[in-house]
Amino acid sequence: MTSEGLLRIVQALVIVAFVLHRAHYNRKYPPAEEETVEEQASGGPGRIANLLALPALVSLALFLIYPKWMAWSAIPLANWIRWAGVLVAVLGFALLQWSHEALGQNWSDQPRITLTQSLVTSGPYRWIRHPIYASFLMILGSSLLISANWFIGSTWLAMTAIDIRSRIDFEEAKLLTRFGETYDSYKRETGGLLPRLP
């Protein structure tokens, strides 16, 4: 099998693994509707992200089935750069799993505030407030490098960035209301998606 063929298989596995990981945690921690104090309502950014999901999925499917269909947006990347994209995805999965372990039952697929929610500051949350969203950018954004295709990569990145920006805005406001000075102090000491520089 050629390196190109192997990279296409890896690209497919990255997306499938991401979906399966999300499905696993959705089953493990189903939404606690009776404990929900406030949940993010669907709005404009969410709709835009959902609209971008279609070209992201279709372009990726075309690339996986017959790459020549997406050759118009291919970018010339050395194989080592494309394999570096695989490493970015693997590190993203490691961060995602570490984040889930730290959050435990505080995790929810949709941003929400619950009656029993606690402020988690352990694991990766010791340095960044949104490690799960950072991992989303790493995993889904890795498609830019793995596929070596600017259209595929940019649609996945744009969809993810718009979605997480909306989520972060909601979560930061509600956590500040819920935990007050404790959250404000935590926010000053940590970075959002990357660790704060000293």
Q: What is the pLDDT of residues 49-91, one digit of tens each?
A: 888 899 999 999 999 999 999 999 999 999 999 999 999 999 9
Q: Once rounded to an integer, what is the mean pLDDT over residues 139-153?
A: 97
Percent of the chain with pLDDT over 90: 73
Closest C-alpha to 61, from 142, 152, 140, 130:
152
Instruction: Using the predicted structure, report yes or no on whether residue 162 has a pLDDT greater than 80.
Output: yes
pLDDT of residue 1: 61
Task: Quote the DSSP letter at residue 129.
Answer: S
Query: Which of 3.40.50.1580, 1.10.287.130, 1.20.120.1630, 3.50.50.60 is the CATH number of 3-28+47-113+121-189?
Result: 1.20.120.1630
Q: Once rounded to an integer, what is the mean pLDDT over residues 99-123?
A: 88
> What are the residue boundaries of the structural domains of the chain, listed by start?
3-28+47-113+121-189
SS3 29: coil
Which of 98-117 are b and which e, b meaning 16 or more Cβ less than 10 Å from the residue's Cβ? bbbebbeeebbeebbbbeeb
Which of 59-74 are b and which e, b meaning 16 or more Cβ less than 10 Å from the residue's Cβ? bbebbbeebeebeebb
Q: Once rounded to an integer, what is the mean pLDDT over residues 116-133?
A: 94
Q: Once rounded to an integer, what is the mean pLDDT over residues 100-112?
A: 87
Model confidence at 111, pLDDT cuts 50, 70, 90, reads confident
